Amino acid sequence: MDYAAAVNEEIRDLFAAGADIVQIDEPYMQARPEKATQFGLTALNRALEGHKGTTAVHICFGYAAIIHERPTGYSFLPELADCSCNQISIETAQSNLDCSVLKQLPNKKIMVGCLDLSTENVETPEIIVERIGRALQYVNPENVILATDCGMKYLSRNAADGKLRAMVAAAQRLRKEYAA
């Protein structure tokens, strides 16, 4: 809880410095769901306590360049319905995640990871739209935010740029489709 209090202070400083959104990356809860059930949500809510700005939590499977075996589901995700964060960032592309779990998070905006970071291959906008479509079966369109699965530090600059451009093109297509 002392660590949560320190993170809370850092988040306060980030908002005071002008940040619009502050995201916490959280690999522990996914990796150790038994312990997360005991105290993870309490600690996370303490870290987020009292902030007026938008907060997000990324539940991480680990960098794809290092962690090659990916689970097809999260071991600690529905519990985040009780988290005080506004947004939850999940990885769906690399794991081909069963997105039905998202219906258990009705009051959250979901940052849907739609870029496979285990490969330098650049997805087409159509592939990204298809991946987002899996989430849209369970989440209202206004609550979906396109995102990368995780950090892109292990990709070449060209691959990262191409993937982000494809994601932007997919977002433009989805906005047109769901604005009607």
CATH number for the domain spanning 141: value is 3.20.20.210
pLDDT of residue 118: 87
One-letter amino acid at 120 equals: E
pLDDT of residue 94: 81
Residue 67 has pLDDT above 70, yes or no: no
Residues in CB range of 15: below 8 A, 6 or more apart: 22, 51, 52, 53
Helices (H), the chain: 2-16, 28-31, 33-35, 41-48, 125-136, 157-179
pLDDT of residue 33: 76
| In contact, 64 and 150? CB cutoff 8 Å | yes
pLDDT of residue 2: 96
Residue 129 has pLDDT above 80, yes or no: yes
pLDDT of residue 160: 97
Domain with 67 in it = 2-179
Q: Residues of the chain with pLDDT > 90: what percent?
A: 69
pLDDT bracket for residue 71 (50, 70, 90): low
Q: For all residues of the chain together, what is the average pLDDT?
A: 90
CA 80 vs. chain centroid, Å, equals 12
| In contact, 118 and 68? CB cutoff 8 Å | yes
- pTM for the model stands at 0.89
For residues 172 and 152, give the distance between their C-alpha atoms in angstroms, rounded to a whole number. Answer: 22
Number of domains within the chain: 1
pLDDT of residue 72: 60
pLDDT bracket for residue 46 (50, 70, 90): very high
pLDDT bracket for residue 100 (50, 70, 90): very high
CB atoms within 10 A of CB 152: 18
